[in-house]
A and B are shown apart, each in its own frame.
Chain A
């Protein structure tokens, strides 16, 4: 049982470059989320998707975009990376209102 798979596991990226973080889930969950985790700031929601074809902004959406073409995939794109986007990124999903979110293993991104 895979659950949620994120790729890549880690990446070093030059500032100004474009990067897409991939997230795939096999649980048929309707809702998916992208969080970033920074020491002392906990997990902060970047973007979310309630269901395929819809997306919304979270707490820290600037500099990021998402798409939800189907139920399983929820890629996160950094159009032009900046050093402040250095973080660990977690994708998560949940199947219904008020349910717990299941997390992937994370992508460690360093922007230099």
Chain B
């Protein structure tokens, strides 16, 4: 799972295996969660999201599970490929950004990231 500190959690898997990346979030009021993938030298890229009224959501080769009781989020990648190697971040919508006279938007708070390495 993700943690604070200088050393990011790492996960190494063989090509074709399933990968599970974990994230513990902090704010029990968060109602929206996103997983991002970041390849070296690039910006974070949206993978999948889930709202707090759901506990599971599936995409193409990816599944996100949400356990609100223990404030835990996981990303499952099926049949992991070398192209999946990247840093994966979870993000939570930790509340609205109040703005005088304007519309409030959710602020995303990011976890520290997990490095996924897929070996051929």
Q: Which residue of B lies closest to A41 (CB)?
A: B112
With A56-B99, A102-B46 known as contacts, the answer to whether A42 contacts B105 (CB < 8 A) is no
Nearest neighbor of A57 in chain B, beta-carbon distance: B97
Do B89 and A43 touch across chains, with their CB atoms under 8 A apart? yes
B68-112 CB mask vs A (1 if < 8 Å, else 0) is 000000000000000000000101010011111111111111111
Contact with A along B35-48 (1 / 0, CB 8 A): 01000011111100
**B interface residues, tally (CB under 8 Å):** 38
- In the complex, the chain B residue whose C-beta lies closest to that of A54 is B102
- Bound form: Cα–Cα A33–B8 in Å: 24
- Cβ contact of A106, chosen from B43, B51, B91, B93, cutoff 8 A: B43
Pairwise interchain contact B105-A94, C-beta atoms closer than 8 A: yes
Residues of B within 8 A of A90 (CB): 43-44
| Complex contact B107–A42 (CB within 8 A) | no
CB within 8 Å for A40 and B103 given contacts A48-B97, A106-B42: no
Please report the total number of A residues contacting B with Cβ < 8 Å. 32
Partner of A98, one of B32, B100, B109, B111: B32
- Once the chains bind, are B31 and A98 in contact (CB under 8 Å)? yes
Which chain A residues lie closer than 8 Å to B107 at the CB level?
A: 45, 48, 58
Within the complex, which residue of B6, B31, B32, B44 is in contact with A43, where a contact is CB–CB below 8 Å?
Answer: B44
Which residue numbers of A lie inside 8 Å of B, CB to CB? 4, 30-31, 33, 35, 39-45, 48, 50-51, 54, 56, 58, 90, 92, 94, 96-106
